[in-house]
Structure 1
Amino acid sequence: MSPRPVVVLVGPPASGKSTVMRHLARRLGVEGRDTDTDVEEAAGLAIATIFAEQGEPAFRALERDAVAAALAGHGGVLSLGGGAVLHPDTQELLAAYAAAGGVVVFLDVSRPHAARRLRGDTSRPLLAGDAMTRWDELMTARRPVYEAVATLRVTTDVHGPRRVVDEIARHIERARHDAAPGTEEDA
């Protein structure tokens, strides 16, 4: 049986997925993996270049494949690109992962905090132009999906990565305890 992620992080741009992934992986003593990095490595191009030269559909196909591979074979902390959850195949894979006891964390962030974090960031092709108007549009479309696939929601607004990691780690430990033989639910 191939490994499965200890936890999967989902959320919008500026929610802190990459930062939380690194800190949480270190805390849990496992490897962190970001599907955006997987896409760039597979394509041999930066995401912005993929969008510019091949378009969003080509990027989304690469992303879908990267997510499927990581969910099937990564045994650490997995961070998904912000729009990865929109593909029905990815939603099905996340639902199966969660049904098998996996933890999917929606890292939520408010608009004001996202605006502060995105100020001056030109690396996100879907936020080109008026970044916050685009961010609002993305969140309108994506929030229901993030909420549907998540088994835990953690707000990253006022808590630094350490507090967010503590909350996720506590949740993982409770989930492991509840699933262990001999717990009250099994008695």
Structure 2
Amino acid sequence: MSTQAPHAVLIGPPGAGKSTVGALLADRLGTGFRDTDDLIVQAQGRSISDIFVDDGEAAFRVIERETVLAALQEGGGVLALGGGAVLDADVQAALSGHRVVFLDVSIADASKRVGFDGSRPLLAVNPRASWTRMMKARRPVYEAVGSHRVDTAGRTPAEVVDDVLAELDPS
């Protein structure tokens, strides 16, 4: 177990670029990258969509909370959280004191990035309306939990990484 906190924890909605930016950021920092959605898929041996369908959202959120708390405890590297992870009060409390970067994005850019396909269970029915409703509900949490905010709209992943680095080390 590492005693070092993650260099950065990335949060935001589907399509914000957490996985892409996280991997590039970790590379630039010379450290490891972990995505809690990937950790869940590996541990469960099935997709997140399958977990939602087979076990329901509540069961998924329990798995997600446990995965996020363990990843934060393990520390080090760059960590990207699933879009809904920050809705959990235990996760919010655990993020206190961490360098949490809210990757903000518009619906236009999010739709280009994720295509609003069936692999995103919360966006399966009427994806644009679902994303807009989800973002309206989650934005206050993202803003409250994030110690930094970087807008990803219309920008390349490398440009976003530059801004994240500037936010984390403004000297």
TM-score class, shorter: over 0.9
Distance in 2, matches of 1:148 and 1:120, equals: 26
Letter matched to residue 152 of structure 2: T
Q: TM-score, normalised by structure 2?
A: 0.94
Distance in 1, matches of 2:146 and 2:30, equals: 23
Letter matched to residue 76 of structure 1: G
Distance in 1, matches of 2:168 and 2:26, equals: 13
Unmatched segments (≥5 aa) in structure 2: none
> Could you tell me how far 1:135 is from its partner in structure 2?
0.3
Runs of 4+ with deviation above 6 angstroms: none
Q: Which residue of 2 aligns with 1:73?
A: 74
Contact 2:33 2:79 in 1 (8 A): yes
Over the residues paired in the alignment, what is the CA RMSD in angstroms?
1.3
Q: Does 1:164 align with 2:160?
A: yes
User: C-alpha offsets along residues 33-77 of structure 1, whole Å, 9 cap, x if unaligned?
Assistant: 000011112212110110010111110000000000111113000
Q: Which residue of 1 aligns with 2:51?
A: 50
Contact 2:117 2:124 in 1 (8 A): no
The aligned runs of 1:121-136 (5 Å cut-off) are 121-136=117-132
> Could you tell me how far 1:113 is from its partner in structure 2?
1.6
Distance in 2, matches of 1:5 and 1:131, equals: 32
Q: TM-score, normalised by structure 1?
A: 0.87
Q: Which residue of 1 aligns with 2:38?
A: 37
Unmatched segments (≥5 aa) in structure 1: 178-187
> Could you tell me how far 1:120 is from its partner in structure 2?
5.5
Distance in 2, matches of 1:86 and 1:172, equals: 23
Q: Does 1:118 align with 2:114?
A: yes
Asked which structure has the greater CA Rg, the reply is 1
Distance in 2, matches of 1:12 and 1:120, equals: 12
Distance in 1, matches of 2:116 and 2:149, equals: 27
Q: Mark the CA change 1:170 to 1:115 in structure 2 (over 3 Å): closer, same or farther.
A: same
Identity of aligned residues (%): 49
Please, which moves more after superposition, 146-155 or 34-43?
A: 34-43
Distance in 1, matches of 2:114 and 2:71, equals: 27
> Could you tell me how far 1:111 is from its partner in structure 2?
1.7
How many pairs were matched up?
170
Q: Which residue of 2 aligns with 1:87?
A: 88
Q: Which residue of 1 aligns with 2:99?
A: 103
Q: Which residue of 2 aligns with 1:182?
A: none
Tell me the secondary structure at the aligned position of residue 57 of structure 1: helix
Letter matched to residue 63 of structure 1: E
